[in-house]
Structure 1
Amino acid sequence: MSAKEAYIKAISYYLPENIVTNEDLVKEFPEWTVEKVAGKVGIDSRHIASENETAGDMAEKAALNLFSECNIDPTSVDFVLLCTQSPDYFLPTTACILQNRLGIPTSSGAIDYNLGCSGYVYGLGLAKGLVLGGIAKNVLLLTSETYSKHIHPKDKGNRTIFGDGATATIISTEGYARIGEFSLGTDGSGAENLIVKTGGMKHSSPLGDINIDENGAIQSSDNLYMNGSEIFSFTQDNVPPLIDDTLQKNNLSKSDVDLFVFHQANKYMLNFLRKKMKIDEDKFFYCLSEFGNTVSSTIPIALKEALKGNHIKDGNKVVIAGFGVGYSWGGCTLYY
Structure 2
Amino acid sequence: MSALHIPSRPGSRILDLAAYLPEQVLTNDELAALYPDWPAEKILDKTGIGVRHVAAPGQTAGDLAYEAARNLFAQGQVAPAHVDFIILCTQAPDYVLPTTACVLQHRLGIATSAGAFDINLGCSGFVYGLSVAKGLVETGAARCVLLLTADTYSRYIHPQDKSVRTLFGDGAAATAIVADDGAPSIGPFVFGTDGSGAGNLIVPAGGFRRPGDADSAVERTDGSGNVRTDEHLYMNGAEVMAFSLREVPKAVDALLDKAGRTKDDIGLFVLHQANKFMLEALRKRLKVPEEKLPVCVRDWGNTVSSSIPLALIGLRNAGRLPAGTTTMLVGFGVGYSWAACLVNF
- Classify the TM-score, shorter chain: over 0.9
Q: Tell me the percent identity.
A: 49
Gap regions ≥5 residues in structure 2: 1-6
Count of residues in correspondence between the two structures: 336
Distance 2:274 2:200 in 1: 15
Range that drifts further, 319-328 or 205-214 = 205-214
CA contact (8 A) 1:3 1:131 kept: no
Ranges of 4+ aligned residues in structure 1 off by more than 6 Å: none
Distance 1:108 1:78 in 2: 4
Q: For structure 1, which segment, 90-99 or 215-224, has the greater mean C-alpha deviation from structure 2 after superposition?
A: 215-224
CA shift, 1:335, in A, is: 1.1
The structure 2 residue matched to 1:289, chosen from 274, 285, 298, is 298
Correspondence 1:108-127 to 2 at 5 A: 108-127=114-133
After TM superposition, the score normalised by the length of structure 2 is 0.95
1:264 equivalent among 265, 269, 273? 273
Taking the TM superposition and a 5 Å limit, the aligned residue runs for 1:214-225 are 214-225=223-234
- Within 5 Å, give how 1:27-176 maps onto structure 2: 27-174=33-180
CA distance in 1, matches of 2:180, 2:312: 18
Q: Distance in 1 between matches of 2:8 and 2:93?
A: 32
1:130 Cα deviation (Å)? 0.6
Aligned to 1:178: 185
CA deviation after TM superposition for structure 1 residue 212, in Å: 1.7
Q: CA RMSD in A?
A: 1.4
Mapped contact 1:8–1:174 kept (Cα < 8 A): no
Query: Aligned equivalents of 2:88 and 2:145: distance in 1?
Result: 11
Structure 1 contact 7–175 (Cα < 8 Å) conserved: no
- Secondary structure of the residue aligned to 1:288 is coil
Maintained 8 Å contact 2:145/2:178:
yes
Are 1:229 and 2:238 counterparts? yes
State the 1:197 CA deviation: 1.4
Residue 250 (structure 1) shift: 1.5
Deviation of 1:55 after TM superposition, in Å, equals: 0.3
| Aligned counterpart in structure 2 of residue 321 of structure 1, from 305, 310, 330 | 330
Q: CA deviation at 1:2?
A: 6.5
Q: Contact 2:65/2:173 (CA < 8 Å) preserved in 1?
A: yes
- 1:63–1:175 CA distance, 2 compared to 1 (3 A): farther
Give the aligned partner of residue 212 of structure 1.
221
SS at match of 1:87: coil
**Counterpart of 2:61 in structure 1: which amino acid?**
A
Most deviating of 107-116 and 199-208? 199-208
The aligned counterpart of 1:246 is 255
One-letter identity of the residue aligned with 1:277? L
Q: TM-score, normalised by structure 1?
A: 0.97
Question: 1:271-293, CA deviations, whole angstroms, 9 ceiling, x for partnerless residues?
Answer: 00001110101111111000100
Gaps of at least 5 residues in structure 1 are none
* CA distance in structure 2 between the aligned counterparts of 1:163 and 1:107, rounded to whole angstroms: 34
- Per the TM alignment, residue 44 of structure 1 is displaced from its structure 2 partner at its CA by 0.6
| Contact 2:123 2:305 survives alignment (8 Å) | yes
Residue 175 of structure 1 and its aligned partner are, at CA, apart by 9.3
- Asked if the contact 1:299–1:320 (Cα under 8 Å) also holds between the matched residues in 2, the reply is yes
Match of 2:206?
199
CA distance in 2, matches of 1:202, 1:331: 30
Give deviations 1:288-320, integer Å, cap 9, x for gaps.
Answer: 000100000000011111111111112211001
